[in-house]
């Protein structure tokens, strides 16, 4: 186990952003500049639909479906296990062991299968003694051993949860796994699922590739709104540039949790708004439905390449809310002096939402407006963009100045 004093020292150095030879977190630049997190990650996770009822059969079939549906070709590359993939106890050597009933072939074989499809495999652990389900051990005190295990299996992504923390701050616990992952020599995307409890946007960029800014999402309108609003508070902390003295060469993603699109708890318009706001906010696009049996409406949302392009834009600046209330405007800059904008009617009746160009940072009086859900261009829009919207519906545009 790692001594508490050492953990606190690591935490303090990371929070202060000191880049010195003695600061293990200064090595974080090596991972952040190796191609991980250049744009928000895209993929799929078991939890929102399957919760703790997962198996290697589900993972293999999902990998197949991601490829056959064309979602993989659009950038959805991570196939991520969530909680409950392991046995309740470690083996006599202290290693995590896959559940023999649900993952009889082992995780290494599963990773090999996912990799054979051109995809990447993610796994789940917890920065505490137990995972949130209490069905498997956490990694607290076993960070280096577990990181080496994950690397030996060929894991590409680690979601690291925040349950059963033994009373230790996440600012103490999370940097230890960050260092352990670096020490493996394998490039593993590190996703901090800290739930925004201790303002991770203020310290997590030195530790991971993305960090949760909110509690868990659920598949209904009010939950989605809360996650969007909570995440928006931290927009200024995401994106390329400097952070606490660390010159970071990548986008850094605030994370309002995974997508609920296709799970059945919201209307199609609400799911379109959900996907639009997550894309604009440069959030990870992690699908949470059963892609083996998704409807055409769900597929049309998740496969909208024009909306995905906003999320993956190399400028890497998180879009944010610029007008609050029932009739909201969200906007953010893109490469080539373009601006992405979402007009969103969060009210209970049909209404018109308007965004003056001056409010959304567009430096022009005329712009071509590309409607990303209708796939049509409105030429020479002057000074503002407006849309009549049903309750809970949105419009999403890219404005190109003329």
Q: How far apart are the first and last CA of the chain?
A: 61
CATH number of 320-401: 2.60.40.1180
Q: Is 161 labeled as catalytic in the residue annotation?
A: yes
pLDDT single digits (tens) 136-176: 999 999 999 999 999 999 999 999 999 999 999 999 999 99
Q: Which two tokens stand for residue 143?
A: 């960070």
pLDDT single digits (tens) 116-134: 999 999 999 999 999 999 9
Domain coordinates in residue numbering, the chain: 42-312, 320-401
Q: Which of 258, 315, 314 is nearest to 289 (CA)?
A: 258
pLDDT single digits (tens) 323-382: 999 999 999 999 999 999 999 999 999 999 999 999 999 989 999 999 999 999 999 999
* DSSP, res 81: -
The pLDDT score that the predictor gives to residue 238 is: 52
Select 42-312's CATH number: 3.40.50.1370, 3.40.50.2000, 1.10.3730.10, 3.20.20.70: 3.20.20.70
Q: Which two tokens stand for residue 152?
A: 């030996």
- Tell me if domain 42-312 and domain 320-401 are identical in fold: no
Q: Is 112 labeled as catalytic in the residue annotation?
A: no
Confidence band for 190, pLDDT divided at 50, 70 and 90? very high
User: Sign of the CA dihedral 206, 210, 213, 215?
Assistant: negative
What distance in Å separates the CA atoms of residue 232 and residue 234, rounded to the nearest whole number?
A: 5
Active-site option among 64, 216, 269, 365: 216
Angle between helices 170-184 and 4-16 (to 10 degrees): 90
Helix (H), strand (E) at residue 324: none
User: Around 278, how many Cα atoms within 13 Å sit in the side-chain half-sphere?
Assistant: 30
Active-site option among 82, 83, 156, 161: 161
């Amino acid at each position: 186990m790692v001594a508490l004093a050492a953990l606190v020292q690591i935490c303090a150095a990371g929070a202060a952003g000191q880049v010195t030879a003695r600061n293990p977190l200064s090595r974080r630049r090596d991972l952040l500049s190796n191609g991980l997190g250049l744009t928000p990650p895209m993929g799929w996770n078991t939890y929102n639909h399957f919760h703790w009822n997962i198996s290697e059969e589900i993972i293999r079939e999902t990998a197949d479906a991601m490829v056959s549906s064309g979602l993989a070709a659009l950038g959805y590359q991570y196939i991520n296990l969530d909680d409950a993939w392991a046995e309740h106890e470690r083996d006599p050597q202290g290693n995590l062991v896959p559940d023999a009933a649900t993952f009889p072939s082992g995780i290494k074989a599963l990773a090999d299968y996912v990799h054979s499809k051109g995809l990447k495999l993610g796994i789940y652990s917890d920065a505490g003694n137990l995972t949130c389900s209490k069905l498997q051990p956490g990694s607290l005190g076993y960070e280096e051993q577990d990181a080496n295990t994950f690397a030996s299996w060929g894991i590409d992504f680690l979601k690291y949860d925040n349950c059963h923390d033994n009373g230790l701050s996440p600012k103490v616990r999370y940097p230890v796994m960050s260092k352990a992952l670096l020490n493996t020599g394998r490039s593993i995307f590190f996703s901090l699922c800290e739930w925004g409890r201790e303002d991770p946007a203020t310290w997590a960029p030195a530790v991971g590739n993305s960090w949760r800014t909110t509690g868990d999402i659920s598949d209904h309108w009010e939950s989605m709104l809360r996650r969007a609003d909570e995440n928006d508070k931290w927009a200024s902390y995401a994106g390329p540039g400097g952070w606490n003295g660390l010159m970071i060469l990548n986008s850094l993603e605030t994370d309002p949790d995974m997508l609920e699109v296709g799970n059945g708890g919201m209307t199609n318009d609400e799911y379109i708004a959900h996907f639009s706001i997550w894309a604009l906010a440069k959030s990870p696009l992690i699908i949470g439905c059963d892609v083996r049996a998704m409807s055409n409406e769900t597929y049309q949302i998740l496969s909208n390449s024009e909306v995905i392009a906003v999320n993956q834009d190399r400028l890497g600046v998180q879009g944010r809310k610029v007008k609050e209330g029932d009739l909201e405007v969200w906007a953010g800059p893109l490469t080539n002096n373009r601006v992405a904008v979402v007009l969103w009617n969060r009210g209970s009746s049909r209404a018109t939402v308007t965004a003056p160009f001056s409010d959304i940072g567009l430096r022009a009086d005329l712009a071509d407006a590309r409607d990303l859900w209708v796939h049509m261009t409105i030429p020479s829009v002057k000074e503002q963009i407006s849309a009549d919207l049903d309750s809970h519906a949105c419009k999403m545009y890219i404005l190109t100045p003329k």
